[in-house]
Amino acid sequence: MTVAQTSSQTAALRADSIIKKHVVAAMGAGLVPFPVVDMVGVALIEVNMITELAATYNFPVPRALVVYKLMISVAGAVGPIFLSIYFQNALKALPLVGHAIYLGAFSLSGGISVYAVGKLFQKHFESGGTFLSSRNSVIRTFFAEKEAEGGTVVPAMLSGSATLA
């Protein structure tokens, strides 16, 4: 095994660890019972994760991508915030259980989102910074795959049986 391969494997292991740490943080942010605070928290966690991943792969922090990511998170949060308010009100009819379901759903969705974004940026940095220059359809397909993967990996993290793919 060459030094470059060892270095690449070490970076990948560090990146997996960074992603996992931020997934757990996002799941914690999902427990905040205020949708706006929850979504802003997850967006900030993603920005921090991207910054750490960039450092792991010796890339400058992609400021334009980070700003773009924040703008998309904020703009994309408007609909879910209103939906979550209606969802929360509907679940309030089920005392205690409804609130637990609501918080659990937001916790998992935040974790899955951070997992998919982390894997997207990990792929970008491992490709030498060219992956996010690909066609939008390639990026969307990759993100959808990682989001689906996160749907199984993130809940398994709760039981401690998950390893990142």
Q: Does residue 81 carry a pLDDT above 60? A: no
pLDDT in tens, 94-133: 666 666 666 667 778 888 889 998 999 999 899 888 777 7
Please report the pLDDT score of residue 161 as a whole number: 60
Listed range (35-49, 61-75, 83-97, 132-146) with the worst mean pLDDT: 83-97
Asked if residue 35 lies in contact with residue 106, where contact means CB atoms within 8 angstroms, the answer is yes
Provide, rounded to the nearest whole percent, the portion of the chain with pLDDT above 70: 70
Distances 90 to 93, 97, 98, 125, 146 between C-alpha atoms, Å: 6, 12, 8, 42, 30
Query: For the residues 55-82, what does the mean pLDDT come to?
Result: 70
Query: For the residues 76-90, what does the mean pLDDT come to?
Result: 55
Of the pLDDT bands very low, low, confident and very high (cuts 50, 70, 90), residue 52 is very high
The amino acid present at 128, given as its one-letter code, is G
Please report the pLDDT score of residue 80 as a whole number: 54
Closest alpha carbon to 67 in 51, 53, 56, 78: 51
pLDDT in tens, 132-160: 777 778 888 888 898 889 889 988 887 77
Domain boundaries, the chain: 3-159
How many CB atoms within 10 Å of residue 1? Answer: 6
How many CB atoms within 10 Å of residue 70? Answer: 15
The CA distance from 85 to 83, in Å, is 5
Q: How many degrees, rounded to 5, is the angle at CA 19 between CA 16 and CA 24? A: 125
DSSP string, 23-59: HHHHHHHTTSS-HHHHHHHHHHHHHHHHHHHHHHTT-
Contacts of 111 (CB under 8 A, 6+ apart): 23, 24, 26, 27, 30, 150, 154, 157
Asked if residue 32 lies in contact with residue 41, where contact means CB atoms within 8 angstroms, the answer is yes
